[in-house]
Structure 1
């Protein structure tokens, strides 16, 4: 199964158009948050992406809330928004177990506008994640693809704990721009900080 992964569009319409083009070669599309800039401009990219008819799974970033994202994709019939919940997605003749948690985790230094959660709340939202599916988070697991421009790790311990407990086949995240495009493995789980250019990953389901 071919999965188109992306994150952090931040209103970049050219990047959104490129993703529509790339989706022609995919079976499933995953967007790991931050479609807007500080709650502004969600429609700038989502209206472009909404022509994608493949099953699409989205989580909010720290730049938009769950409610804002759900409202913005009302007319996008193939899109599903996850945040602290999961859903079985049928694509390429198989059922794929998905789980999603968005927002900045742990709480960011950006202030009140940022849609953030502490590690305890994140652990609660990840508690029912199943084994062996696909996990979509805006924030990366700690000490993976989460190194900022100074080299400091900025990821989430609770997300990493979930990865080690549930061994998802694929973890799609974003948030830390300096690690866009990077991939690592934690056990059997492939973790990608997707970035706005988009990457197609082959997943054996």
Structure 2
């Protein structure tokens, strides 16, 4: 399965055009959150991606809630938040929101570490874990050098050992990769990253 994955579109038209153009070669498109800005413009973001004909699996970021994303999602889209789905023999589990809560104000859709741990607990085996927030210590450093990833996400990765973890959220780490045990963690960014996954 050829997967085109991205995060943090934030209504960027050029990036959206590039994703639509690239998606003609994709079996599946994965979006790891933050399609709009500050809970505004989600319908516009989905319209910008409407040229994608491949199935999509999306996880909400902190710029939109799970309910908002489910309401706005295009036909053929699976929205995952604290739930799993299987696509062509590949299993996914998604967790959205900012974990821990970033200092962005009341508009940000966040989870505490405790809430995230509870929502991740049902995930026992998965091929690809999609979280908006990166795990603590991997692809999670701000421009000031602060590690702001999630302890709950890291603990889940350690417990589940998924082959691949896709995340975003920390813009300074777009494109960074790292490992937690045998799990590869990739902070995606809006340009699109390709993965070839065998079921």
| Range of TM-score over shorter length | over 0.9
Give the Cα separation in 2 of the matches to 1:120 and 1:166. 18
Partner of 2:183: 189
User: Does residue 141 of structure 2 align to residue 147 of structure 1?
Assistant: yes
Q: Secondary structure at the match of 1:160?
A: helix
Once the two structures are TM-superposed, the CA of residue 137 in structure 1 deviates from its matched residue by 0.6
2:174 is aligned, of 166, 176, 180, to: 180
Structure 1 alignment gaps of length 5 or more: none
| Structure-2 separation of matches of 1:64 and 1:139 | 13
1:81 aligns with 2:54: no
Q: Does 1:25 align with 2:25?
A: yes
Partner residue, 1:61: 61
Deviations 1:21-54 (A, max 9, x none): 1112222211000011001111222112123222
Native 8 Å contact 1:8 1:33 kept in 2? yes
Q: What's the counterpart of residue 168 of structure 1?
A: 162
Question: Are 1:59 and 1:82, in contact at CA under 8 Å, matched by a contact in 2?
Answer: yes
Q: CA–CA distance in 2 between the matches of 1:55 and 1:189?
A: 25
Secondary structure class of the residue paired with 2:157: helix
Aligned ranges 1:74-153 → 2 under 5 Å: 76-90=74-88, 95-153=89-147
- 1: CA distance between counterparts of 2:183 and 2:23? 23
Q: Deviations over 1:1-25 (max 9, x none)?
A: 2211100011112111100111122
Q: What is the aligned residue count?
A: 199
How far does residue 112 in structure 1 lie from its aligned partner after superposition? 1.0
Residue-by-residue CA offset, 1:137-168 (whole Å, 9 max, x unaligned):
10001100101101111100100111111111
CA distance, structure 1, for counterparts of residue 14 and residue 46 of structure 2:
12
SS in 2 for 1:69: helix
- How far apart are residue 172 of structure 1 and its match? 0.8
Q: Does structure 2 conserve the Cα–Cα contact (< 8 Å) formed by 1:55 and 1:89? A: no
Rounded to whole Å, the distance in 2 between the matches of 1:64 and 1:89 is 24
